[in-house]
Amino acid sequence: MSGINNTFAEGTQISYAHWVRDAITLMRSGKPGQVSLFESSVPEPSTMLAETTLRAFRSGPPVTFTSVFMRSHPDIVSHLAARYQVRAGNIRCTTGATTAVSLAYGALLSSGDTILIEQPGFDIFANCARDAGLEFDFFQRRAPHFEVIINDVLEALTPNTGMVVLSNLHNPSGVLVDVEVLAALAEALNDRNVLLLIDEVYQDYAGIGAAGLDVERHSNVIRIGSMTKTFGLNALRCGWMFASSDVMSRLRAYCDRVDFGVSKLAHCVAAEVLANAHEYDTWRDSIMEASLPVAEVELQGMVDRGLLELELPLTGCTCFPRVVGVQDTRALSRWLIARHGVVVVPGECFGMAGHIRIGVALNADKLKNGLERLAAGLQEYAERIEAAEGPVGQTINAK
């Protein structure tokens, strides 16, 4: 099969970014007409964004077109404070959530510190640690519930652990961790002088301004958010960090050295979007209200047919079912693209082979078509496995 390079080679972990690149290359073959279920947010609201921008700049630069040199955009801070019930002094704007992760590592950790990261999880957490010269290890969020079990986290700590990293909603499963669990974990980690970084880029899919920890009360907690997942607005590269006054002072000092040049234009437009957040929230929620019932019906059908194992109902815009009888989900994902024109992310991208991540934040008709293709592909794959009576990765290919 052409179009797939060594990111599909043998191994237990592959780069998500590289996998996306190679999947898109294969999708561009155009056969048999691709339906992508790998996106992890609602589609970009391009028309709304254009209207918001034009309205703001119609009579010249708006007041939100203000300097952000060595400071956060004041309007963004004001909107975030009201939306998430966080004090303005506890907020720092960044060039996206990935930059926020890197900044938190650089500002708060030192050589010799170890970061304990959830698994399955987004590979950027480990990649940023590696780039910063920090050690990292993993604690497990076990299928099918993908809960955060406090004792599992604490048992995985070492004397060098400086920070624990998790996502809420969880990427890839979409599972929501109860705020009481997070509070108990934060307190237990604080007793051990360990920081807790919570990636909340999907949190609004559980409800606008869904409950998060009070960072002044839990002074070892850093919360990260972004407009990329909340509104599908990756183009704006607008993220943020919430942290206690003491932690924020360290973050600001570090940001002033290494991230003092965020985009004035992008953050101006982001401020305008947040001023009209109700429109964007309504747009996102309308997509999810239409797509979730479709997703749950189609996925339940695959569960009933013994093709997937998955806990329903869904909370977020992604889910992470186990594919029954399949361990090499890299090979499966390649085969599904080539034979059934449906794209799902192999679990190897998140450190858990045998699972696939499915994105459901699509137009309901397109989603239904994609999930129907997935069901047909999984059924055919299962039949081929049964007929071959051997390991999938050795006996099944995309030819």
Can you give the three-state secondary structure of 344-388, one letter per residue? Answer: CEEHHHHCCCCEEEEECCCCHHHHHHHHHHHHHHHHHHHHHHHHH
Same domain, 112 and 192: yes
pLDDT, one tens digit per residue, over 202-241 is 999 998 767 899 999 999 999 999 999 999 999 999 999 9
Same domain, 210 and 75: yes
Among residues 275, 298, 333, the one where a domain terminates is: 275
Number of domains into which the chain is organized: 2
Same domain, 333 and 250: no
Is 56 inside any structural domain? no
pLDDT, one tens digit per residue, over 34-55 is 788 998 999 999 999 999 999 9
Domain of residue 370: give its range.
Answer: 6-44+280-395
Is 52 inside any structural domain? no
Q: Residue 368's CB: how many other CB atoms inside 10 A?
A: 17
pLDDT at 12: 58
Q: Which helix (H) or strand (E) holds 139?
A: strand 135-140
Among residues 275, 310, 335, the one where a domain terminates is: 275
Burial level of 380, CB count in 10 A (0-12/13-18/19+)?
Answer: middle
- Sign of the alpha-carbon torsion through 104, 109, 111, 114: negative
pLDDT at 218: 98
Q: Which helix (H) or strand (E) holds 116?
A: strand 114-119
Angle at alpha carbon of residue 66, lines to 61 and 72, rounded to 5°: 145
Angle at alpha carbon of residue 42, lines to 36 and 44, rounded to 5°: 95
Is 307 inside any structural domain? yes
Same domain, 196 and 254: yes
pLDDT at 30: 56
The domain that contains 119 carries what CATH number? 3.40.640.10
pLDDT, one tens digit per residue, over 326-375 is 999 999 999 999 899 999 999 999 999 999 999 999 999 999 999 999 99
Non-local (6+) Cβ contacts of 113 within 8 A are 134, 135, 160, 161, 162, 163
CB-based contact 302:378 (threshold 8 Å): yes
Same domain, 105 and 192: yes
Is 78 inside any structural domain? yes
Inform me whether the pLDDT recorded for 4 exceeds 50. no
pLDDT at 3: 33
Higher-confidence position of 9 and 387: 387
Is 249 inside any structural domain? yes
Q: Helices H, strands E: what count in the chain?
A: 14, 14
Same domain, 226 and 289: no
Is 53 inside any structural domain? no
The domain that contains 332 carries what CATH number? 3.90.1150.10
Among residues 246, 275, 304, the one where a domain terminates is: 275
**Alpha carbon of 141 to those of 9, 153, 166, 170, 256: distances in Å?**
25, 9, 10, 10, 35
Same domain, 70 and 190: yes
Q: What percent of the chain has pLDDT over 70?
A: 92
Same domain, 271 and 284: no
Same domain, 146 and 19: no
What global pTM score does this model have?
Answer: 0.92
pLDDT at 390: 53
CB-based contact 277:49 (threshold 8 Å): no
Tell me what the pLDDT averaged over the chain comes to.
91
Give the least confident one: 32-36, 120-124, 309-313: 32-36
Same domain, 135 and 222: yes
Same domain, 138 and 234: yes
